Each structure stands twice: as structure tokens, then as C-alpha cells.
Amino acid sequence: MSSGAPRKYPGYGSSERTQYAPYSAFDIPADLRELHGRWDVEAVAQRVRNYRYAEEWSMRILGGWVATIPELPVKTGLGKIIWDCAQSADALGERLPELRFARRPTGVALSPNPDFAKLVEAISEPEDPDLTIEKLVGIFEVLFPHLVEVYEHNIRHTDAIADAPSIELLENIVARHRRHMAWAEEVFDRLVDTAEERERREQRRRELGARLRACGGVTGDWPIEPENTVEAVRKEKST
Amino acid sequence: MKRFIDHSELARDRRFVRQNNVLSTILADVEDNVEAVVEAIEEHAPLIENSVRGTAAEPLFERHGPGMLLVRPNEPMDPAHPAAATQLRLRLHGVFVGELQALEGAARSLWDFPDAPWEFQMNMARQCWDEARHVQTFEKLLDHVDVEPGMFPESTFLFECACSEDPAMRVAGVNRALEGLACDVFRDTIRYAEASGDETLRQAVDFVLADEITHVRFGSEWVREFTRDDPEYGQRVQDFRREVDRQFSFGGARSARKDASIPIAREDRLEAGFSPEELADLEELSARGPSSETLREALGVLRERHEARRQAG
């Protein structure tokens, strides 16, 4: 190489730099993500275990109901949703060893508290063929919307760079649950026709919703109070 | 929600009627003897009549009397046979409700055995999606041959036989016996579709068969896993599967016999994890039962008696 030619690789002297212009993570494309999320590694692992608990039990409850639901398109529609929940639970389990939580897959699910476990049990209770509305409300109008809210909150408030794998898998799960809820909405449009049926739907939603709020949801700390958000914490630190 | 349900609790909409499950096992327990077959069928004549009233199978009863049960398993399906369209319709409806029960069986395994290994639960969850697609596929195929769900009575005998409360037996019953039977039925249905030039039927059933082989493989692997350290338990599970397979052979209608209407899909079963010894055993146990000649003669006798009863008023 002639001495005047632009260098492709750095040399040992300060004059032996390469020809390439410097770019950092803050240039092109602009990386607007910030370090530091609301949770540390252990706390994220704990939340992932909570999510896994909700996804696993959703899969099992829906599996139990398939035989007890007389409406054929609901029966068959649940088949795919069961598999989606299984994949979500599995992906959450796969994330745990990456967060220093390595156990056998069956031991990873964790309810945040006994009351959330009781809520899940209450959701699973209806089994009579007359109770398709009550069954579907528990999963599709109480639990899944709650999970979507919590997962999206998690996506927004975890460390956007360091915890990106959690974000990506939660985004996938959120997309699945949004499809599930849209499917259920169509089912409700067909199933809920009379004033009595509307009242059954509303009452079930009220009852389970109250229990969900009382137990703090899937992570035991929901709803998130404004003073605990990551933005509030950052603001407090900066002042 | 309780663990474990009875087959009578499988929920259906108002289009469906049930057939007493006893009727599905009559031929599995009868000798190769015309009188024995006639007697066994006559004994259940009121049940048979009751199960078809108000369904599309009623004209069959009008024509053959209780001997209508012998029309379907009497001989291999042949597109040139005048009864081929009826046979195909009955078979596709039978498969449709069989897929429904397979979906329900796999789904219940998730609820009934929450402490089973996670990989097992993943396999069952995947099977739920597959079986749900099979129900949807066969619902379309029913439409393809002008049949409505519920047009014929449903026997829940598959669920009743296969759904044990023991996880290894459940998987042996549902995934090896029931899904194995599905492999046999589908391979034969593909043969029929090729012979009749029905490409829609052939392709759809071929996809379903590919899934079923996977499900039988799940069963083969999980039975091995569940019984790995307990040979005595393994033998009990194998005995359970053999008994279910004997019932699912319908007195030789599903067998390796030349006159079987559903031949054993040997190559598919080998691919799905059945050993050559198990297949030899299946061929032996499924071959028992009345021959097609016996059934044909019995059908003639039953038809004559039915006609005589009608004329007598």
C-alpha cells in the first residue's frame, strides 16, 4: 500500500487512521431508545414467569372447554388459540434461562399471588354447555385485554436495548391476543342477542374485572400508578 | 371445571343426534357365523331404528332394516358400485365426527393432565389446532358431497374407548389407536378419490393424513416416555391399546383381510412409529370377526325379515 492511499484498517500511529467517517448509535438511523428500564434482570424474569402462568392456564382452560361448547365454529376456533397460547407460554419459558432463571419448563410458571390463581380458577369454572358466553367473557374480555395492557406497558417501560428480546416476544404475543379478541368479538356478535344475554355478558365482565383489579392482575402490581411509571422515576431523579 | 368428562357430555348443537355406542361394537364381538350376526343385529334392532329416525340414514333403514349396519363395512369402497355415493357420504360424516372427538380428546388432555411434561402439553396443543383444521376440512368435504353436519347419527364410541383417565393410556388410545385408525381410513379414502378422479377429496385428505401420522408419532413417543421405567405399566398400556384397536376394527372391517373395507395403512403406520411386531399383532387381532361373505348373507336374511315385518304391518 502506498503511504498516501486511504487506509482500510487502522495502523499503530495516530496518523494511521482509516478513511471511514464515524457514526455512532445516535446518528443514522437515529436511535431514540434510552437505557434503563423500570425493572432489573430479576424483576423481568419474575414478570416473565407471571406471564407464562397466564398463558399456560389460558391454554389449559380453553382445552378443557372445547368439549363442552356446542357451537361448532367456537369449538374449532379455539383449536388455533390453544396452540397460540402454548407457543406464547413456550417462548416465555425460553426467555427465562437468558434472564438467569433456568429450571425445568414445567416449574417456571408463577402466579403473582394466591388471589390471581383463584381468579384463574374462577375463569375456568363454567362448564355447562349453556355457558359459552360466561366462558368466553372470562378469557377474551377480561384476561386477554388485561394481558395486552400489561404486556404493552412492559414493552414501553423495560430497557429498550438490553431487554429487547423480551420486547420482541411480547410484541408477538400481543399481536396474537389482539387477533383472538377480534375473533371473540365476532363470536359475541352472533352469540349475544337478547337483553338477557347482554346482561349475562356484562355481569360476568363486571365480576371478574373487579376480582382482577383486587388481586393486582397478572403481575400483582396492576394497575400501574402514575407515580411509579419509569417516566416519573426518571423525572424525580433528574430533579 | 371438573377433570375428566364422560362421552355423553360432549356438547353439540341441535343438528346432531347420538347413536348408542353399543351399536359400534356389535361386530367386534361376533363370530364368523351368519346366525350369530343376524341374532346380534336383531337384538339391537330397536336401538338401530331409534338412532336413525329423522336423520338421512332413515331411508337406509327403510330399505335394509337393522341390517343397514352391515351395508357400510360389507366390502371395499368402489366408485363403480351403485352404493358408492352413500358409502362415501357415511364415511365422510363418520370421519367428521371422529375429528371432532379427536379435537375434544386432545384438548381435554391439556385440562385433565396439567402436570404432564411441558413437551407433551405442547404436542397436545399443536394437535388441537390440527384437529380443528381437520374438522373444518371435513365440514367443507361434507359440503362437497352434499352432506350437512348432523345428517347422520353420531356415535361417541371413539371418545369413549380412547379417553382413559390415565395419561399413557389416553395417549395410547387417542394418538395410537384412534389416530392410527384415521391413517387407515384416510389412506383408503385417498385410494377411492384417485379411483373416482376426485382431486379435491384426494388432496385435502392427503394433507390430513400427513398430520395424523405426526399425531400417531406423538403417541408412540409419549407412550414410550410415560412407561419407560415400568415394564409392567407399559404392558398394561399396550393391552389397553390392543383392546381399543380390537374395538376399532369393527369385526374385521378395518383389517389386513382381503375383504376389509378399510385396509391397514402399513407404510403410514411404520412411519408413525408402529413396530413391525405391533403391526403383525394388529393384523392378527383385527382379522377376527365375520367375513364379508357372512355379512352379505346376514344382510340378506335381515332384509327378508325386515320386509316380512313391514308386510305384516
Q: Which of A64, A66, A83 sits opposite B126 (nearest CB)?
A: A83
Put simply, the answer to whether A83 touches B133 (Cβ < 8 Å) is: no
Closest residue to A90, CB basis, from B109, B122, B129? B122
B108/A105 CB distance under 8 A: no
Q: How far apart are CA A112 and CA A128, in angstroms?
A: 29
> Could A62 and B107 be called an inter-chain contact, meaning their C-beta atoms sit closer than 8 Å?
yes
B112 contact residues in A (CB cutoff 8 A): 64
Out of A80-89, A146-155, B115-124, B161-170, which region has the weakest mean confidence (pLDDT)? B161-170
Residue A185 in grid coordinates: 368479538
Mean pLDDT within A100-128: 90
Kindly report the nearest CA distance between residue B129 and chain A, in angstroms. Answer: 4
Domain membership flag for residue B5: no
Rounded to an integer, the average pLDDT of A193-202 is 98
Q: Tell me if chain B has a CB within 8 Å of the CB of A129.
A: yes
Residue whose entry in the numeric block shows the C-alpha cell 360466561: A134
Per-residue pLDDT reduced to its tens digit, B235-257: 999 999 999 999 999 889 999 99
A69 touching B (Cβ < 8 Å): yes
pLDDT score, position B51: 86
- Alpha-helical (H) ranges within B145-177 are 157-162, 167-171
Q: Do A63 and B125 touch (CB under 8 A)?
A: yes
Question: In this complex, do A63 and B128 lie within 8 Å of one another by their Cβ atoms?
Answer: yes
pLDDT above 90 coverage of chain A, percent:
75
Q: What is the mean predicted confidence (pLDDT) over B204-214?
A: 96
In chain A, which residues have their Cβ closer than 8 Å to the Cβ of B5? 67-68
The mean pLDDT of chain A is: 91
* A129 contacts on B by Cβ (under 8 Å): 11
| B107·A86 Cβ contact <8 A | no
Q: What CATH number is attached to the domain comprising B85?
A: 1.20.1260.10
Residue A229 has pLDDT above 60, yes or no: no
> Choosing among B9, B16, B103, B142, which should be mutated to test the A contact, i.e. which has the most A CBs within 10 A?
B103
List the single residue in A with minimal CA-CA distance to B4: A64
Number of domains in chain B: 1
Q: Mean pLDDT highest for which of A162-176, B21-35, B45-59, B295-309?
A: A162-176
* A223/B contact by beta carbon, under 8 A: no
User: Tell me: the pLDDT tens digits for A10-32?
Assistant: 999 988 999 888 877 666 677 77
Does residue A1 carry a pLDDT above 50?
no
Whether the CB of B104 is below 8 Å from some CB of chain A: the reply is: yes
CATH number of A41-222: 1.20.1260.10
Number of H helices, E strands in chain B: 14, 4
Residue B73: its pLDDT value, please?
52
B85-101 mean pLDDT? 94
What DSSP string runs through chain A? --TTSPBSS--SSTT--BSPPP--TTSSS-----S--SS-HHHHHHHHHHHHHHHHHHHHHHHHHHTT---HHHHHHHHHHHHHHHHHHHHHHHHHHHTT----GGG----SSHHHHHHHHHHH---SGGGHHHHHIIIIIIIHHHHHHHHHHHHHHS-TTTTHHHHHHHHHHHHHHHHHHHHHHHHHHHH--SHHHHHHHHHHHHHHHHHHHHHTGGGSSPSPPGGGSHHHHHHHHH-
Q: Among A72-76, A232-236, B286-290, name the one with the lowest average pLDDT.
A: A232-236
ipTM of the complex: 0.93
Q: Mean pLDDT, chain B, as a whole number?
A: 93
Q: What range does the domain containing B198 cover?
A: 18-312
Q: Is the pLDDT assigned to residue A2 strictly greater than 60?
A: no
Q: How far is CA A201 from the centre of its chain?
A: 25
Q: Is B71 on the interface with A (CB under 8 A)?
A: no
Question: Do residues B94 and B157 lie in contact, with contact meaning Cβ atoms separated by under 8 Å?
Answer: no
Are B104 and A66 an interchain contact pair (Cβ–Cβ within 8 Å)?
yes
Residue B213 inside a domain? The answer is yes
pLDDT for position A103? 65
Identify all chain B residues contacting A72, using CB atoms and an 8 Å cutoff.
Answer: 13, 135, 139, 149
| pLDDT on residue A21 | 82
Q: In the structure grid, which three cell numbers stand for residue B161, read together?
A: 374407548
Q: pLDDT at position A32, please?
A: 79
Structure confidence at residue B28 as a pLDDT band (50, 70, 90): confident
Among candidates A70, A76, A83 on the partner chain, residue whose Cβ is nearest the Cβ of B136: A76
| B8 domain-assigned | no
Average pLDDT rounded to a whole number, residues A128-153: 97
A217 lies within 8 A of chain B by CB? no
Which of B115, B125, B133 faces A59 most closely, judged by CB atoms?
B125
- Residue A137 scores a pLDDT above 90: yes
Q: Are A59 and B103 a contacting pair at CB < 8 A?
A: no
